[in-house]
Chain A
Amino acid sequence: LAAGTGDWAVGPGRVPAAWAVVDSTATGRFRVLWIVDDDGASFPAPGGDPDGLVEAGDASLRFALTDRSGVLAVDIGRPLVGPGADALRASLAEIVSGTTTHGGALLAPFGIRYVVADESRLAGSARVALDAQTDLDLVPSSGLLIWRSGSALPLAGVAATTPAEDRLVISTRRGDIQRLPALATAPLRRVPGGWDGTSEGGSRVLMSTEFDGAWQVVGDTRQPERAFGWATSFRTEASDVSIRYGAQLPRTIAVWLLAGFWAAALWITRKPVRR
């Protein structure tokens, strides 16, 4: 209910003060990765319930991905599935395995700016692995462990990339993706149906959205490319960039048809009221 009415409040059992301070100082749109031991409990507010699992024996982790507002009522019953979710699970597994020191770069394609955990509910080995990341910096806080990524990409933006960096973007290997430097990226603005903004000299559009060939840059006939094995990317020379989803009408029709079928089914199976 609190999520539905946007009424989180700081205090015991509510939003930890540490998160409230971080949330109030951060700018722009970004995602938050919540992690916790595999203990069956929820995240601290406003993280909600775990969506996925990284199996690591006794150090197994559960995780969830939210935007900066935390979990919303519409997220209830919506599982985190698909190639993007699989890639996120694999990237988090790389980090906790302790073999990489570039976890921020691995999480960058997902638009993750913060990784948050309850200090008392995170295995020591996972804590050590996260602290060892060169591009994840621990934000001073009390009660919560909050790492800020220095490599975070916006949810959608236009990056000025070199040819070598372009090869990393279109690679599917995490061994390559971890080499992604902190890219200078002009964020795009979320609008109904897509994203708008200016390229500010960049030419590589990056969207932390699962690849779908229906995404288009307005005024450009080039097809999107798969980025990082699961996300969406474009090449563009335009200074003003507008991205729209080209298959929204069929989806809208399908949803209305489904609603109609449900309404018909409910009507047919209704029971008359006994008087």
Chain B
Amino acid sequence: MRRYERLVAAVVLASLVGGALLAERAGPRQRAELSPGEARSTTWICPHGGGGGWTGTIAVANPGPRPVQARISGLGPSGDVRPQAFSVAGGTQVLRPMDASDRGSASVVEVFGGGPGGAWQISAGGQDRGLGVEPCTPSGGTQWYATGMPTTEGERSFLIVTNPFGSTAIVDVTLVSPDAPPVRDPGLTDVSVAPGRSVALSVSDVLPGKASTAAVVQTSTGRIAVGALVVTDGGGVRSTVAGTSLAPTWVLPAGGGAGRSTLSVGVLEDQVVRFSAVLRSDNDPQPAGGLVEVRQVPLSAATYPVIIAAASSVDVLAGSPVVVALSAEGQGIDDAATSGVMSPAPSWLVVPTTLEEPWFPGLVVANPSEEDVVVALRLIPEEGEGTLKTTTLTVGAGQVAAVPAGFLAQAPRASVLVQASGPVVALGASTSTGRLGVAFYALAVGLPVPAWALPA
């Protein structure tokens, strides 16, 4: 081999070895982190139920500064209604009538370009009277939990099972009660819910005569969303959304009622649960209903009476995960219920809980933390209602405060954006309709608002 050929070979070999050593030392290129996408959208499922002569309204509120696009679809046992698409200007809400003429009626709200979402109001008609308000749920799931469903005489309880997705869901329901083994009725097993359908499953028909029931609703295939609807003969509608998780701690604010309430606790796992309940108001916290280290047996549902103040919160602290609900007696014929929240947050969007005049809009803010919080409140009215005043209030550590009535009276059917300096829970609690404005009573916990959806 000539000298230059040996030199070239040596240079090539040295380059290969050197390059390999450098590459090994440098390691693989670090992948860049993903930036937040430009295509923001959320989907809210509203398993509100209904009945013959009932009417429904979906509230879509936009707390952000820019307009968003929304699309609402109605679902029922026989299929969906053609979607309605519309815009929601920044800082406003839209109240859209929706079909609630069937016991299994439901709706789906899709929001594009912003957040957070929607909530439902259902007003009973025909032989039924009452108002149910609840925020829609942002997710479908394969397992849901609900409680607060009595089946004693005069009380009819239903599970509203909604499938807005593209594949059939096969649903199984297990019911528990205070004094009997869990029930898996053939009529609530392998229930097929077709895509775009929503059905009502009667709990009262399967487990009659119970002061309370709790349910595990799960799918062997497909996804669903679940709500609980209780209709009382002679007047009264309670409407709540089920949850996808059990939890050991719950916050259940309340207000605006007659003072008597019932805490429902569902133990849906095969273990004894000990729990306590704390009543918070504008005074020092105290045991709620005397509930201290209460023992509840596995796979059971039970109810506990609790007297609540005008603005209060019942905090449940359990040794193991449970599902809860709080139903409160109204000052008129109607009752109200909430399934509470697992954890506080700094920002909430509370939808209107009034129906029609005369009305007494109410909103309570619960502060379960150990420090005072300052809360800023802004009304989110329908477009064209003009500029409305904002306000702030301070909620003491461990206390609950009611928002001043005069602030809410500016727009009684407006949503309210609640922004706090610390984690809180906000809930709408209003009465409306009837001669004295107390015939209908509704409770609805707010929708947590992520930071990116807030106005600058």
Report A108 CB to chain B, min CB distance, Å: 13
Task: Report whether B34 and A99 are in contact in the complex, using a CB–CB cutoff of 8 Å.
Answer: no
Task: Report whether B36 and A150 are in contact in the complex, using a CB–CB cutoff of 8 Å.
Answer: no
Can you report 24 A-B residue pairs in the complex whose CB atoms are below 8 A from each other?
A55-B34, A57-B30, A93-B34, A94-B37, A94-B38, A99-B36, A99-B40, A101-B110, A102-B39, A102-B41, A102-B110, A102-B112, A134-B43, A135-B166, A137-B165, A139-B167, A148-B167, A150-B195, A174-B37, A175-B39, A175-B113, A177-B39, A179-B41, A179-B69
The contact string, 1 if C-beta is below 8 Å from chain A, for chain B 162-177, is: 0011110000000000
Report A92 CB to chain B, min CB distance, Å: 10
Task: Report whether A181 and B83 are in contact in the complex, using a CB–CB cutoff of 8 Å.
Answer: yes
Q: Could you tell me which residues of chain B, from 7 to 56, have a CB within 8 Å of some CB in chain A?
A: 30-43
Q: How large is the interface on A (under 10, 10 to 19, 20 to 34, 35 or more residues)?
A: 35 or more
Task: Report whether B69 and A148 are in contact in the complex, using a CB–CB cutoff of 8 Å.
Answer: no
Q: Could you tell me which residues of chain A, from 162 to 205, have a CB within 8 Å of some CB in chain B?
A: 164, 173-175, 177-179, 181
A175 and B112 in contact (CB under 8 A), knowing A100-B40, A140-B221?
A: yes
Report B253 CB to chain A, min CB distance, Å: 28
Q: Could you tell me which residues of chain A, from 46 to 78, have a CB within 8 Å of some CB in chain B?
A: 54-60
Q: Give bound CA distance, A181 to B72, whole Å.
A: 12
Q: Give bound CA distance, A104 to B43, whole Å.
A: 13
Task: Report whether B166 and A150 are in contact in the complex, using a CB–CB cutoff of 8 Å.
Answer: yes
Residues of A within 8 A of B166 (CB): 135, 137, 148-150
Q: Give bound CA distance, A213 to B12, whole Å.
A: 48
| B residues neighboring A (CB under 8 Å) | 30-43, 69, 71, 83, 85, 110, 112-113, 139-140, 164-167, 195, 221-223
Report B142 CB to chain A, min CB distance, Å: 10
Task: Report whether A175 and B38 are in contact in the complex, using a CB–CB cutoff of 8 Å.
Answer: yes
Task: Report whether A174 and B39 are in contact in the complex, using a CB–CB cutoff of 8 Å.
Answer: yes
Contact with B39, one of A54, A58, A60, A94 (Cβ below 8 angstroms): A94
Report A85 CB to chain B, min CB distance, Å: 18
Query: Is A38 an interface residue, CB under 8 A from the partner?
Result: yes
Q: Give bound CA distance, A99 to B139, whole Å.
A: 14
Q: Which residue from chain B places its CB closest to the CB of A174 in the assembled complex?
A: B39
Q: Give bound CA distance, A140 to B223, whole Å.
A: 12
Residues of B within 8 A of A178 (CB): 39, 41, 112
Q: Which residue from chain A places its CB closest to the CB of B29 in the assembled complex?
A: A55
Report B230 CB to chain A, min CB distance, Å: 29
Residues of B within 8 A of A100 (CB): 37, 39-41
Report B258 CB to chain A, min CB distance, Å: 40
Contact with B139, one of A132, A174, A177 (Cβ below 8 angstroms): A132
Query: Is A158 an interface residue, CB under 8 A from the partner?
Result: no
Contact with B38, one of A139, A173, A181 (Cβ below 8 angstroms): A173
Task: Report whether A99 and B39 are in contact in the complex, using a CB–CB cutoff of 8 Å.
Answer: yes
Give me the 6 closest cross-chain CB pairs, A-B, nearest first: A150-B166, A56-B34, A94-B37, A99-B37, A97-B37, A174-B39
Task: Report whether B31 and A55 are in contact in the complex, using a CB–CB cutoff of 8 Å.
Answer: yes
Q: Which residue from chain B places its CB closest to the CB of A162 in the assembled complex?
A: B85
